[in-house]
Amino acid sequence: MPQPDLVLGVDIGTTATKAVAFAPDGTDHGHGEAPHHLDEPEPGAAVQDPEALWEAVGDAVRDAVAQVDPGRIAALSFSSAMHGLLALDARGDPTGPLLTWADSRAADVARELRAREGALALHRRTGTPIHPMSPLVKLAWLRRARPSLHAAAHTWGGIKEFVLARATGARVADTSCASGTGLLDLATGAWDPEALAIAGITADALGEPVATTAVVGELRARDWGLPAGVPVVAGGGDGPLANLGVGAVRPGVAACSIGTSGALRIAVERPAVDPRGRVFCYGLADRRWVVGGAITNGGLVLDWARETLHRDVDDLLAAADAVPAGADGLLALPHLLPERAPHWDIGGAGALVGLHRRHTAGHVTRALLEGVCLQLRLVLDSLREAGLAVDEVRATGGFARSALWRRLLTDALDLPVGFPTVDQGSAFGAALLGMQGVGLLPPGPDGLVDAAEQIPLGETLRPGPDAAVHAARLPLFEQLHDVLGDVTAELGT
């Protein structure tokens, strides 16, 4: 019999589940992927079928396991998209769809809660901005808008809590995903009484908070291609685990990702947010949290340009690359969907400012991409306002396939940006937690940090002359957000 030396990192994302059999050095020994469908049955809704997600997890795991000797799998460990909310009955079965982070129907409730006295204190205590993405705000909205559904739920959780319970029988909530609910007190590690009261639930309706490295049980699912009794480790949220999975775990090193959306995060040893409440703080592992901000509009702006301008992505990127920095005076606020960090907008809209007849599809595309990178620069500046030094960035995501976009990000952030060779950061981060949970890595934060920092970089870029162009435009970019907010409010957009 082979010795178990691999851990299966299972990342349940918004668009797909990915399962990868990792060795401690980050080597991929087998992987599987199963896509997801996002439903939008009414304005603002963004929901998924939890049973379909469960099937996708099984499909991805089976495909990965089929490529290795199952006896080598020491454990499974999970990552998932954060901020989802799912109502469950007394048997642990879903009573409705999963409300994803992108569901914005709780916007009016979020506005009311943000206006309450003590709103910032609640944000600081729980680490989660008061925003429609937050399960706290979703619960308060359901209590008002769907009272029968709210009252009928026996328990609440996210997609990972549901998968862990069905796979092992354990009703738990890892402290990483729990810290993104707006319901967990980061200092105590317990559910926050004020947040529970706003949500209209009790602590009994939520899973027991457990460490991200905790072995929560043995695998019960018999059709995943694994032998009975494989340990299952809780894992964490996809954002914090991306930091771990790309080696951004030391002070001064931030992780940046741009896929459909985007984020910039840095690991810290004590939980905190900035005085203005512009950043979040979520759990990672023992004595490690991540502070940062997520942006809604990342790669989706390129999708919008492709659909609107009727050009394929490669053509648009080539045209944008031929345009100088600053897009010949065209400035884009790329808020096609209500933006999150650092302003945590509940409404809002985008804009193209300075548009002239001379501007082409290449100008529009370049301005949109520059706008995404400037939005991430605002998040970076908010981290610095929180007293956190950021000296370098490690970046992942689909954007990194574009040489132009890699340069734009490096120049906009005005920092060295490295691109790790591991392209499944959240899955590898989950696997590292699993390795520590079953003893393949030394205990404590140093064991995780030392393992994560072994991830090699394939390329490191340094800021060039265009960094000065982006720095000069940054104040105008933020001013445009402030001015446009009044206009869009009048327009009702």
**Helices and strands (H, E) in the chain, number of each type:** 16, 23
Segments in the chain below pLDDT 70: 1, 492-493
End-to-end CA distance of the chain: 63
Tokens of 423: 């392209």
- Do 372 and 334 form a contact (C-beta atoms < 8 A)? yes
Farthest CA pair distance, the chain? 70
Which pLDDT value is given to residue 493? Answer: 64
Which pLDDT value is given to residue 28? Answer: 92
Which pLDDT value is given to residue 197? Answer: 98
Which pLDDT value is given to residue 39? Answer: 96
Tokens of 383: 């981290």
Residue 172 pairs with which residues in a beta bridge? 208
Phi and psi at residue 126, in whole multiples of 5°? Answer: -95, -15
